[in-house]
Chains A and B, each alone.
Chain A
Amino acid sequence: MKLAVISCIHGNYEALNAVLSDIDAQKADQIYCLGDLVGYGPYPNAVVEMIRSLDIPTCQGCWDEDIVEGLNACECSYPSQLAETRGRLAHEWTNSVIHPEVREYLATLPMTLKLDNLCFVHGSPSSQHEYLLPSMDGFAALERVLSADADVLFCGHTHVPYVRDLEDAALSVNVQQPDQTESPKQFQVALRQIVNVGSVGEPRHGRPNATYVLYDTDTAQVTLREVPYDYAKTCLAILEQGLPPIFAWRLARGMEFAERADDPTHVCER
């Protein structure tokens, strides 16, 4: 079976349409979505309605959670006061235009989805806010996959796609307790994978193209897809809706400097 996994659409209807067309052309059997349907972009309702109409299994992302529960992340979400101001503007705008039934739908989304040995999350199995960066320590990354009881963990949130093979792991543990004999143990794990599917609507890999992933469950082959679309239309709509112009600037370049979190490994505790 060929799966298409998408994430981080962020109200970008143009990008979603282009990606759906590409998925159709690639003849995928099933689509999974890893959340962040809303936020930053100008078409949050249209994006959610499209996902719902196609009955795509979807996890809740951190922006979706904010629309359901209110913006109550700790200050760690923002690297600067400017970024915080822009983030709040985007949240408040989205919150003001979102339809009640869309909000209700976002509230029903699960944190994780499973399909056999595959697990789908927005950030990590621990938190929607955790960034699984490719530079993360290998054993910590392996723990995220194993904690999900999966062989392959699909995630988004960073907006930069990658595949990480974690192979031939070996770990030994020796427990010593008072009045008990030592109990050494060995653990070995052959292969686990983290697949970050990038971002449909707010890419940050250095080009403005939308990104997503194809996965063949029979061969375990992962294909990173990059899809050009008319991002200028979305940029124009961002400006017309009065959203911060920097959102259009970075969408046109597919990059992100100012909003990058200082400590992406920090997990926000609400």
Chain B
Amino acid sequence: MTHWAILSGIEGNLAAYEAVLQDMRRQRHPVSDLYVLGDVIGLHGDNDAVIQRLQSPRSSEWVPQVCIGWWEEQCFSLHGLNSSPDAPELMAQFGGDGVKRLWESVSRESVRWLRSLHFGFHELDCLLIHGSTVSYADELTPDTPAIQLCDRLVRADANHLFCGRSGQTFECWVTPTRLRSTVTTLDGVQDPQDQGKTPRRVVGIGSVGRIPGQATYTLYNPESDRLNFRTVNYGKAKGFGATIA
């Protein structure tokens, strides 16, 4: 049986990632696949240590499928590896100190590895991605307008869009019930078309490392379509708790 663990936002927090791996090992239904939807690096942890951990899983551990997130794009920008030099987004949000810290905390070798990662994964009828197909920075939340969520699902060409940009855990079913579209060209009016569709959903998968002491991630069974949002307390908070949706 297939069970996916889907997570994002480690942000250099190795202790949080280890706590999540431990929680995954404790699952009654064994996890078969591990997806990491970007933001492996951040400002407050040991970025190179996390990258090495992802690159070299221990024997009998999952080989993570990792894609690019917002923080990785900032790193590429600093290194002149994308179309937007000098990381203007990073500068605007975290200032010169943030730029300096990110630059110093990711080695050249790590940057090269990060650059080799995918933008996202299409698997079965799911798209797993950091933001959306619009952008790595696209932040989908429960408060995102319904038509925008619908648009992202249409663009994703998938029934289930798993994303990590917001850091929140949520499940949002979108049903585009009906829409009548009529096109008129210079040659006349075409027959109207009903563009209604079956329900599909956006899933916010949580954040492993953003909140110290509390990691969230998502377990998904593609066969039953069931989600299980996990909350893992670690460090001083200790103990493990889970919230099941």
Contacts and interface: CB of A to CB of B under 8 A. Distances in A.
Interface stretch (B30-38, B40-48, B99-107, B180-188): B180-188
Given A134-B185, A187-B146, A269-B83, A171 B174 contact: yes
Interface string A205-222: 100000100000000001
Nearest to B175: A172
Interface stretch (A6-14, A20-28, A114-122, A162-170): A162-170
Given A146-B147, A175-B170, A178-B231, A139 B178 contact: no
A174 B186 CA distance: 41
Interface in B99-133: none
Contacts of B145: 146
Interface in A105-127: 126
Interface of A: 72, 74, 126, 134, 137-143, 146-147, 160-179, 183, 185, 187, 189, 205, 211, 222, 224, 226, 265, 267, 269-270
A74 to B, nearest CB: 7
B48 to A, nearest CB: 28
B56 interface: no
Interface of B: 83-84, 134-135, 142, 145-151, 154-155, 168-186, 193, 195, 197, 229, 231, 243, 245
Contacts of A162: 183-185
Contacts of B84: 270
A134 B183 contact: yes
11 contacts: A138-B193, A139-B147, A143-B148, A164-B184, A165-B182, A168-B179, A171-B176, A173-B175, A174-B173, A178-B169, A224-B184
B171 A176 contact: yes
